């Protein structure tokens, strides 16, 4: 979406800036910030695998109309690959092949078909694989009960480890930090107190609230129990969520202004969809995760230990602690459900 923002003008640009947290930032500040962030993330820890890929796919008949300044910015600041293609069946295969390669095969399909009005796809892919600083002993993993969000009880493979972790707990939530590699990237597990629903906890959580939890963590001996997890979050269109954040004008074919991409007056460019797909696997050795997002542009036309037992719905984030960037986030209502629609 930051790449797409480069082509937005007037009220569309203002709405995207507000929704994406770019208010008050100069035209170059967003791009320079992302350029520095990408460079930082790719070098954050030699003991974890982290890949970030960006690409722009342009219908060949539309390519001559695209502003060179737009594609140059994406190449220079986001290391984006630029492709001009026929937008036929072979293009679908090529896009999916690119995503699969960038995510180490974890996501093999982000695009099913191409509509005749689609003229551009802006795609971001991220892949992460990190081993725990302190691995779980697989011999201690055993079946345990997990109370799902609907109140039912399911059996999960519960990993166990006693040890020192960064931790915070109050009447509303317990938070534990599980580091990877050289302790620069970590998973944070948020376990709402019994009687506090995951939904209500997350609804009241803000960016500042997250930072407050991170700052309150301190060393503690935990009896940690965490379910193994293998989840594929099926492709979902983020249009409704982004519209709720105030970005609806970008999806409005009658008022969207992406003239920074190409001036096609009297016609307009607009965002047709923002498809997102993610895969997360958590086991005794660590975590492997991948995500892909496709923005489709269309043309009209032994010491005392604190129990931390994750046996009910919880939230997690995987965070680069050096930059504060959240790489992945998820809500787990039932760890036994491997595919989410």
Determine the Cα–Cα distance for residues 29 and 239; give it in Å rounded to an integer: 26
pLDDT band at 341 (very low <50, low <70, confident <90, very high): low
Helices within 54-206 (DSSP H only): 68-78, 89-102, 198-203
Taking 60 as the threshold, does the pLDDT of residue 177 lie above it?
A: yes
**CATH 2.30.39.10 domain span(s) along the chain:** 131-228+302-340
**According to the model, what pLDDT value does residue 27 have?**
75
Rounded to 5 degrees, φ, ψ at 330 are -155, 155
Helices within the chain (DSSP H only): 2-5, 10-20, 27-42, 68-78, 89-102, 198-203, 207-216, 239-242
Tens of pLDDT, residues 76-122: 999 999 999 999 999 999 999 999 999 999 999 999 999 999 999 99
Tens of pLDDT, residues 227-258: 999 988 877 889 999 999 999 999 999 999 99
**According to the model, what pLDDT value does residue 174 have?**
97
Tens of pLDDT, residues 209-221: 999 999 999 999 9
- Cα atoms found within 13 Å of the Cα of residue 334, Cβ hemisphere only: 13
Domain spanning 2-129+231-299: which CATH class is it, in words?
alpha beta
pLDDT band at 303 (very low <50, low <70, confident <90, very high): low
Please state the rounded mean pLDDT for residues 165-192: 96
**CATH 3.30.497.10 domain span(s) along the chain:** 2-129+231-299
Tens of pLDDT, residues 259-283: 999 988 888 999 999 999 999 999 9
Q: Does domain 131-228+302-340 have CATH number 2.30.39.10?
A: yes
**According to the model, what pLDDT value does residue 231 have?**
87
The reported pTM is 0.88
Tens of pLDDT, residues 30-41: 999 999 999 999
Cβ neighbours, 10 Å, residue 330: 17
- Cα atoms found within 13 Å of the Cα of residue 226, Cβ hemisphere only: 32
């Amino acid at each position: 979406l930051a790449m797409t923002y480069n082509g937005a003008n007037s009220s569309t640009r203002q709405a995207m800036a507000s929704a994406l947290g770019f208010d008050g930032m100069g035209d170059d500040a967003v791009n320079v910030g992302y350029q520095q962030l990408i460079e930082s993330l790719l070098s954050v820890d030699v003991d974890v695998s982290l890949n970030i890929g960006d690409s722009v796919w342009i219908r060949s008949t539309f390519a001559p109309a695209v502003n060179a300044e737009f594609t140059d910015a994406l190449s220079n600041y986001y290391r984006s690959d630029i492709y001009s293609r026929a937008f036929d069946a072979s293009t679908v295969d090529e896009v999916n092949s690119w995503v699969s390669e960038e995510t180490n095969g974890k996501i093999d399909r982000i695009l099913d078909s191409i509509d005749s009005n689609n003229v551009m796809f802006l795609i971001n892919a991220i892949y992460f694989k990190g081993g725990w600083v302190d691995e779980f002993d697989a011999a201690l993993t055993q079946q345990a009960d997990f109370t799902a969000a609907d109140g039912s009880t399911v059996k999960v493979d519960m990993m166990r480890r006693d040890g020192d972790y960064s931790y915070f707990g109050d009447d509303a939530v317990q938070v534990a930090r599980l580091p990877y590699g050289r302790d620069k990237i970590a998973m944070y597990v948020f376990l709402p107190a019994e009687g506090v629903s995951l939904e209500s906890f997350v609804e009241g959580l803000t960016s500042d609230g997250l930072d407050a939890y991170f700052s309150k963590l301190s060393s503690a001996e935990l009896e940690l129990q965490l379910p193994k997890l293998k989840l594929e979050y099926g492709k979902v269109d983020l249009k409704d969520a982004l519209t709720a954040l105030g970005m609806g004008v970008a999806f409005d074919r009658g008022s969207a202004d992406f003239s920074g991409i190409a001036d096609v007056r009297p016609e307009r460019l607009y965002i047709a969809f923002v498809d997102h797909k993610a895969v997360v696997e958590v086991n005794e050795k660590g975590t492997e995760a991948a995500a892909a997002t496709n923005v489709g542009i269309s043309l009209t036309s032994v010491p005392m230990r604190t129990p931390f037992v994750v046996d009910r719905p919880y939230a997690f984030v995987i965070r680069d602690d050096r930059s504060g960037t959240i790489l992945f986030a998820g809500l787990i209502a039932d760890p036994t459900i491997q595919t989410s629609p």
